[in-house]
């Protein structure tokens, strides 16, 4: 009796394995024509099996998409080892000087604005500027990357690297300077220009 159950299990496993998809390729399925659909339906009727059986028998599936290559000659950003570019102590000095200078200038600006909800806070190396209903800015250091990160309700998130040529923090994707971006964003939101340089 036990050998009969074992033989039945092995036979059932072979049938299932023959109909199971093989995960070999990540390429998308080609579009099927009407005649291909009719041929698959006819094959299903002839085999008496599942409507998916003909498809699984010759096509491989995967849940991942193939890697996309950039169009044309668009450069792909390479990984940068920021530790080799700037020593950590130099990064902290530059970033701390920038954030403390920004803190002072924004406090002066807030005093001149008399805006409801204007609040500036610096703690745990994070500068937070709240402009009431207009939104919140967050500026913080990212030591492993040697960057200053900004979260803006106007321009969104950005990561700034130190540019020795201009002695400023620059967002490499757009080339914008941290202080110029904040001046533009905050000036537009508050309706009064702000000088952060």
pLDDT tens, 29-87?
444 444 444 444 444 454 455 554 444 444 444 344 444 444 444 444 444 554 457 89
Please compute, for residue 174, the number of CA atoms within 13 A of its CA located in the half-sphere on the CB side.
13
Written as six digits, the tokens of 120 are 């500036």
Residue 197 pLDDT? 82
pLDDT tens, 85-127?
789 999 999 999 999 999 999 999 988 887 888 899 999 889 9
pLDDT tens, 142-178?
999 999 999 999 999 999 999 999 999 999 999 999 9
3 state DSSP class of 151: strand
């Amino acid at each position: 009796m036990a050998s009969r159950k074992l033989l039945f299990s092995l036979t059932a496993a072979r049938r299932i394995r023959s109909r199971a998809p093989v995960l070999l390729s990540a390429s998308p399925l080609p579009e099927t024509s009407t005649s291909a659909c009719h041929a698959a339906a006819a094959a299903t009727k002839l085999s008496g099996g599942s409507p998916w059986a003909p498809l699984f028998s010759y096509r491989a599936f995967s849940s991942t998409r193939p890697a996309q290559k950039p169009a044309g000659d668009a450069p792909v950003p390479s990984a940068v080892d920021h530790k080799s570019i700037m020593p950590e102590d130099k990064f902290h000095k530059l970033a701390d000087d920038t954030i403390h200078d920004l803190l002072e200038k924004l406090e002066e600006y807030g005093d001149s604005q008399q805006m409801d909800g204007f609040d500036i806070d610096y703690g745990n190396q994070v500068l937070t500027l709240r402009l009431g209903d207009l939104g919140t800015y967050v500026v913080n250091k990212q030591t492993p990357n040697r960057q200053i990160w900004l979260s803006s309700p106007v321009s969104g998130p950005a990561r700034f690297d130190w540019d020795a040529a201009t002695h400023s923090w620059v967002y490499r994707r757009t080339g914008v300077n941290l202080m110029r971006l904040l001046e533009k964003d905050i000036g537009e939101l508050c309706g009064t220009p702000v000088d952060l340089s």
